Every structure is written in structure tokens, then in C-alpha cells.
Copies of this chain bind each other. A is one copy, B any other.
Amino acid sequence: MTSPPSPAELVEAAGTGSPRAVARLISLVEDDSTGGPVLREVMRLVAPFTGRAAVIGITGSPGVGKSTSTSAYVTAFRKRGQRVGVLAVDPSSPFSGGALLGDRIRMQDHAGDNDVYIRSMASRGHLGGLSAAAPQALRVLDAAGCDVVLVETVGVGQSEVEIAGLADTTLVLLAPGAGDGIQAAKAGILEIADVFVVNKADRDGAEATTRDLRHMLGMAPSVEGGWLPTIHKTVAARSEGIDEVIDAIEAHRAWLTSTGTLQKRREHRAQVEIEALALGLLRRQMGRLDSSDALADQARAVAAGETDPFTAADTLVAAL
């Protein structure tokens, strides 16, 4: 009988390209997403190997062909010799619903390719938000030597904003159809998209959708030295136009790097993540105060009209 590998052993194995070790590590961070000791150990161990992967967010309404497109992008990145990770946080995706790395890959084109890691994650809440463990899973894929990580999420509710918060480059997929362009503007997608892809471009209306997008981009305020989102047409099911999209992603990355924007974005992302974790820690510290009755005492005083919630909060913070 052998004992299960330790996090340190798993991180070492993941670094040498073991899909099984990557899968195990992601399971560990998913199972311990509230910040327990295992997650903390894994994050500490992978930190030195992170910061290399290009993180590409892929979002769009249901039916625009996100999964087919993601699969086509994987093929194209592989042809360029890149190791690719995929995080699918899309309830409508064929990768979702319990698909795992390695042994249960549903993305059949890439089965058996040890340089492609595919992982589906449960979405947080019914609006298709990102999984709470997505940033941690990203770090694992990054540390495992992925050159590119594609994060696919359905474009509803908060998820497209969340994905833009995680990704270096955000692709917004659209399909031809009346009002799609206007919907895009409504959802604030214009502000998060670095690259627009009009997929299913062999259908009626592709030209109109492209024109609408171009019109809206023309009206958007442009920033001196900023990135002007590009628009591309694809038929992902027939692999048409995919290389142009990959070229656009690489052009955006070159722009991010040369202007220092990549560094700034990553630092900002780290700030947001650290702040959220710090507030979580403080909330738990107050929880401990709670059991020692400090919060409960203040609450009783507020309920009795002896103090007000603001003064109570001041007292509590001072006691931390």
C-alpha cells in the first residue's frame, strides 16, 4: 500500500507534465475552496511557477458556438507548439457536468494529447458566474507549464465581467442575428472585449452583425495608446478563420507586453484577489470574536437601542 502523493509531490509531477497530477491538484483546490490548509499549501508551492501562461477568456451568449470555437482554438494553439489548458465554466458546454482531465475528456479531438489539459468547473450560482475556485485552478494550470489557458464561460449575468477580471485577453463571441450587436452593447460587453468573433459567419446576417459592431466601436470613446478591439469572422465547425483569431490574440498579447499593460493588469488582479481573501480572513476573525461574544454583545446593544450599528462596527474593528 502506498500513501496518496503529497501536494509537494503532485506539484513536482505536474511540473513534469503529468495530467493526472494536474487533475489531482485542481481537485484539491476545488475541494478546499474556502481557504483551508491544503489549498494554502498548494498555492504556496505553485506560486514560483506562475505568471507565464497567457489567460484567454472566451465568453458569449448560449448558442454562439463557444465550445466548438474553444476546441478549434485548442487545435490551432497546439499547431503552434503551445501547451494548452482549458477551464470550462459553462453549464451549457459539452465539457461541463463532471467532465474531468485525462480519463473523461469529452473534447474528443484532444483526447490522448498530453499537452492539453481540460477541466470543467461547476459555475457559482444559477447565473453562470465563475467558480469560486477558478483563480486557483488557473494558477495550477499556469504552474503546470501551460503556455495558454482558455477560460470558457457563458455570457450571462456577472460572468463576462468576472472573466475579464481573470483574463489577459477577452474574446467575445457573437452569432449573426438581429439585435445581437445591440445586446452586446447593453451587456457592457464592449467594455470588456479585446477581440470580437462573429462565429457562424456562413449564416445570414453575419455582415450586418459585423457592421453593427464596427459602428458601435466607432462611437465608443477611444483612449490614446489604447487597444482598439478587432473583429473577426469564423465558422468554427469548419475551422474557418481560426488562425486570424489566434493571430489577433497574439497581437493583443504583444500590445499588452510592450505597453506594460500586462504587468499592470496582473498586479491589479492580484490586488483584487488579495483584498477579497483578506476580507474573508477578517470576517472569520470577527466570527471568532462572535463566539467570544464581542459581536453578539454589540448586536444586543443595537437591538436594545443602546448604540447604533455604525458605532458598534467601530468598536468591533477597534477590538480586532
> Residue A244 at the B interface, CB < 8 A?
no
In the complex, the chain B residue whose C-beta lies closest to that of A295 is B271
- Which residues on B sit within 8 Å (CB–CB) of A285? 317
A270-294 near B? 1/0 per residue, CB < 8 Å: 1101110111111101100010000
Decide: A268 near B308, CB < 8 A? Known: A278-B317, A282-B279, A282-B282.
Answer: no
The answer to whether B299 and A49 have CB atoms under 8 Å apart is: no
A296 to B266 Cα, complex, angstroms: 11
B-facing residues in A117-159 (Cβ within 8 Å): 135, 139
What range describes how many residues of A lie at the interface? 35 or more
A282-B282, A296-B271 known; A277 vs B309 contact (CB < 8 Å): yes
Complex Cα gap A240–B293 (Å): 48
Contact of A35 with B270 in the complex, beta carbons under 8 Å = no
In whole angstroms, what is the CA distance A281 to B320 when docked? 12
- Name the one of B43, B47, B277, B280 contacting A306, with C-beta atoms under 8 angstroms: B47
Within the complex, the shortest CB–CB distance from A26 to chain B, in Å, comes to 16
Number of chain copies forming the complex: 2
8 nearest A-B residue pairs (beta carbon): A277-B313, A270-B299, A270-B302, A43-B308, A271-B299, A47-B308, A278-B313, A266-B303
| Per-residue contact bits, chain A 42-66, to B (CB 8 Å; 1 contact, 0 not) | 0110111111000000000000000
Whether A270 lies near B282 (C-beta < 8 A) is no
Q: Are B43 and A300 in contact (CB under 8 A)?
A: no
Q: Which residues of B contact A278 (CB under 8 A)?
A: 286, 313, 316-317
A40 beta carbon closer than 8 Å to chain B: yes
Please name all residues of chain B whose beta carbon is closer than 8 Å to the beta carbon of A309 when the two chains form the complex.
43, 135, 270, 273-274, 277
Please, which residues of chain B bring their CB within 8 A of the CB of A35? 310
Cα-based distance from A135 to B308 in the complex (angstroms): 12
A111 at the interface (CB under 8 A from B): no
- Checking B274, B281, B298, B300 against A295 with a beta-carbon cut-off of 8 angstroms, the contacting residue is B274
Bound: A303/B275 CA distance, A: 14
Q: A300–B267 contact, CB under 8 A?
A: yes
Query: Which residues from chain B contact A305 at a C-beta distance below 8 Å?
Result: 47-51
Q: Report which of B270, B277, B312 forms a contact with A303, defined as CB distance below 8 A.
A: B270
Residues on B with C-beta less than 8 A from A268 are 299
User: Counting CB contacts under 8 A, is A39 at the interface?
Assistant: yes
Q: A284 to chain B: closest CB distance in Å? A: 10
